[in-house]
Amino acid sequence: MEVQQLRENFSPILIFDDECSLCQRFTDSVKRMEHTTHINFQPLNNVELFEKFPILNKEECEREVHLLLSNYEVLKGPKVVEYLITLNPTIKKISWLIQSNAGQKALDIFYKSSNLYRESLLNRCPKCKNK
């Protein structure tokens, strides 16, 4: 298959921690969204994923959510949330709000708060601490 054809057929891959209840709920919510059916969901513990896509770094993926858009493009953290939000056709009409400086700051604060909560959950979970 040619490179261009691979790029056209590539479906984004959301990498998530399937052992984290917050991550699992986030993923379940994204799966229920109307305009995300083209996204594949892969658990963080899928070793083959990191072998197939060397652009991914497992340690970075453990720290924050990653969305692989192609063999050469990865979104991380708040950029993943921004991408998912703008998939909705209604929100596309006001995407300029999200892309403004104030919108970017709001997304960053939301994401950082969520990620801190996730980390605190992982620190309190005996199963997660022993990873």
- Please tell me the distance from the alpha carbon of residue 74 to that of residue 127, in angstroms, as a whole number: 29
Of 14, 26, 23, nearest to 121 by C-alpha is 23
- 8-62, pLDDT tens digit by residue? 578 999 999 888 887 888 888 888 888 888 899 999 999 899 999 999 999 999 8
- The neighbouring-strand residues paired with 40 are 13
Question: Which 3 state secondary structure label does DSSP give 52?
Answer: helix
Alpha helices in the chain (DSSP H): 3-9, 21-32, 47-52, 58-63, 78-85, 89-92, 95-99, 101-124, 126-129
Residues 70-94 have pLDDT tens digits of 878 999 988 888 788 778 665 555 5
Average pLDDT, the chain: 77
